[in-house]
Amino acid sequence: MTQRTPPTIRFYTSNEGKVREVRELLEGRGYRVAWSRRELTEPQADDLEEVARAKLAAVPRGKDLALVEDSGIFVAALGGFPGVYSAYVLRTLGLPGILRLVDGKPRAAEFRAVVGLRDGTRTRFFHGAVKGTLAPRPRGSGGFGYDPIFIPDGKTQTTAEMTSAEKNALSHRGKALRGLARYLAPPGRVSRSA
């Protein structure tokens, strides 16, 4: 009896932390996640799905399912900034700079993610969001990016203080990826009724 090879989803990103999360969420569901380490050019856009769409258009076509992701943190008191520019702002200002921007202001924030999938000529997008607040100072050593300053609603820990399983259970990316997993079920066959 031959063992069936799991279908491959090729994830295009330069972010190793995102690769770990995608593997944790999809490999247990019967898929193999292959990492194509690539810095994809992002258009100047106000919408995460528009950025994900441009990323998906930039990756090569092949036999594997192609996966891209774009996410950002949207701070209400800053008019939704940094939003789609979250990665650039984090590299430029760092977490201390972001916290200075909200000093004395309401700290409500929302993490949003869009996951884009291409299967042949078909593309689909899956969205996820989680509301929370910005911590007064960075806490925790897990996760990456804004995790040390983001506290999801109903929790007291930052996402950097949570285990990866706890974070994935409630995160914006986790929600988007669970939508993707439902669309792909059963493993290896895209559900055309979704």
pLDDT at 193: 38
Q: pLDDT of 176-185, one tens digit each?
A: 999 998 888 7
Q: pLDDT of 98-120, one tens digit each?
A: 999 999 999 999 999 999 999 88
Q: Give the residue, 5 or 188, on which the prediction is more confident.
A: 5
What average pLDDT score do residues 62-80 get? 93
pLDDT at 62: 80
Distances (CA, A) of 25 to 11, 45, 68, 155: 13, 28, 15, 21
Q: Cβ contacts of residue 97 below 8 Å, gap of 6+?
A: 89
Ordered by where they begin, the domains of the chain are: 8-184 (3.90.950.10)
**Which residue in the list 46, 47, 64, 70 is annotated as catalytic?**
70
What's the whole-model pTM score? 0.87
Two tokens, residue 96:
């201390």
Mean pLDDT, the chain, rounded, equals 89
70 given a catalytic annotation: yes
Q: Give the residue, 108 or 58, on which the prediction is more confident.
A: 108
Residue 191: pLDDT band by 50, 70, 90 thresholds?
very low
Tracing tokens 């090569």 back to the chain, one arrives at: 60
